[in-house]
Chains A and B, each alone.
Chain A
């Protein structure tokens, strides 16, 4: 975390970063401002993103009993983008998330709610289809198609907006941890902590679902309520993150597998906190890489997560030969 704070286009010694954090005075005021106003929010955002997407991915993998489920893969993030886009359309001014951000706290909540509803709609659609077709691969394809539809709607909207706004939107799709302001961070922090806590409260339910819905039901679990709760929490987590930081892929699918493979367990009481930790660490690493240490460039974080996340997924598949046995 310190390393993440220390890196950026302006080089600040780590010792000084630590000093600033504990409230000590450093002779360079600019450094102080950079660390507290820019880098600290970015670092906290990274932690929140990692935690939220990982926990969201874990829940989806359990609910769908599908090792390849994850917010980005099944089009949940696409749904969230659609939600964000819809808000902007309704507002009458075809703008982007960056403009909405300037609306302050009220705007932040609006984005979160819209993105969560978008995410929830996609999840419900996928759930409805998965009910008819019990084939993982088919469901995955359906998820990708649903994602395509939402992306298509978003691009139609893009087509009617001017080039400047389009560029902003494209920037948004690259994913960014840096655009979140301190006040928005409070909203995001609150939502993510609530979401993670709610997930933790669901851990007994998630454990029962490991055996499949029929068994879970035979053990007295109310399937409809549980599904609703899991989808609700996942939508809020994925929606909030997507609304603020853009669609960030692969963390949600890779981290649960990584955690399971480290700890060799499927018990959600252990997996949920561990996913938070592993997700946060992975996201920090991605953020550090995206800063390209030693240079002035900042790479889009989405590219980094994909670059790190995809090999992890492949590695796990190869190592375990089949994902089902490992999860």
Chain B
């Protein structure tokens, strides 16, 4: 099977500001119908790259092409029909209704007064339906929660009816259920509508979990491309985010603190859910533990008891177990 068609490419692209290169020599590509994550630490230049790809900011060198045409040759209106944006800044007019905001997405298509025809209205209806923002269509933007607002902004981008949608940190202000919901929504959109979506984020786990492709900002101001798994296995991810104090746990798939002198082994046996969370609690106090030991968890998650093997100590709460382990 061949790879799907490439829509957007960049050639030897260097982005940044007057006397500061932020990211350099980038050869990127976005493939049709795929969800691509631009992953990088805070302040690594993700927004600058996104602004340059969207044509809002001029690159320092190189060029961005959409369908093999340089974006400098695409006029503003054509560009607006090809690529839409969802930005991080929360500055949105509080007094605009959700419906009015979403319909602003038709801007490149409507006449000079911005009147909507029936097909515009049908598209707005559809976009609000798929993003789940229909139920608050009449509310004002100022009254929405961050998660709801983000859905509305995605609906607006959908209404702009573009092949490519680029989102800059769409989940930055969201709590974790909302975050997952937004990512699922975007994943769904790529599958169902064939849209090409690029999301920038600094959240590693959710990016690993949901994206088809990853662009990873590296410490040398370059960007590594590949499947998330490829970037993990090649060690790029650890290089991008790791530090002396932080290493990537290749089995768990997440970063954890480097701990010194945790030579003692604590074994936990029992019901799997109980074992997982008991271990989690013990890991946190690892530096306090002075000897090997084994903990046995008895009972069910609803009614558990913890027993330290080789002693007669039994605890009916995790708090008590932890404080015991800390002091021995």
Interface residues of A (CB under 8 A from B): 65, 201, 203-204, 207-208, 210-212, 214-215, 217-222, 260, 264-267, 269, 324-327
Contact = CB atoms under 8 A, between A and B. Distances in A.
Interface in B149-184: 160
Interface string B69-109: 00000001111110111010101111111001100110110
B84 to A, nearest CB: 6
A263 to B, nearest CB: 9
Given A265-B100, A266-B100, A327-B93, A219 B56 contact: no
B104 A218 contact: no
A210 B93 CA distance: 6
Contacts of A267: 96, 100
A218 B100 contact: no
Given A214-B56, A222-B76, A267-B96, A208 B112 contact: no
B94 A218 contact: no
Contacts of B77: 220
Nearest to B140: A264
A218 B95 contact: no
B95 A265 contact: yes
B142 A220 contact: no
B46 interface: no
Interface in B11-61: 51, 54, 56
Interface residues of B, number: 34
Nearest to B77: A220
Max chain B C-beta neighbours (<10 A), residue from A219, A220, A269? A219
B188 to A, nearest CB: 23
A222 B96 CA distance: 22
A38 B282 CA distance: 89
Contact of B112 (A201, A214, A222, A265): A201
B97 A219 contact: no
A265 B97 contact: yes
B94 A326 contact: yes
A214 B97 CA distance: 20
Contact of B54 (A203, A212, A218, A264): A218
Contacts of A220: 76-81, 107-108
A193 to B, nearest CB: 19
A207 B114 contact: yes
B113 interface: yes
A215 B95 CA distance: 17
A130 to B, nearest CB: 14
Contacts of B300: none
A256 B104 CA distance: 21
A194 B83 CA distance: 36
Nearest to A208: B107
17 contacts: A203-B113, A207-B114, A210-B96, A211-B93, A212-B91, A214-B85, A214-B87, A215-B85, A215-B87, A218-B85, A219-B80, A219-B108, A220-B78, A221-B76, A265-B95, A269-B113, A324-B91
B87 A219 contact: no
B83 A327 contact: no
A210 B79 CA distance: 20
Given A204-B114, A211-B93, A266-B95, A326 B142 contact: yes
A215 B141 CA distance: 16
Given A204-B107, A211-B93, A265-B96, 6 more contacts: A204-B110, A204-B112, A214-B56, A219-B160, A220-B107, A327-B94
A219 B105 contact: yes
Contacts of B114: 203-204, 207, 269
B20 to A, nearest CB: 16
Nearest to B168: A214
B95 A326 contact: yes
A177 B94 CA distance: 36
Contacts of B89: 212, 214
Nearest to A62: B93
A194 to B, nearest CB: 17
A212 B78 CA distance: 20
Contacts of B78: 220
Interface string B198-210: 0000000000000
Contacts of B140: 264
A6 to B, nearest CB: 37
Contacts of B108: 219-220
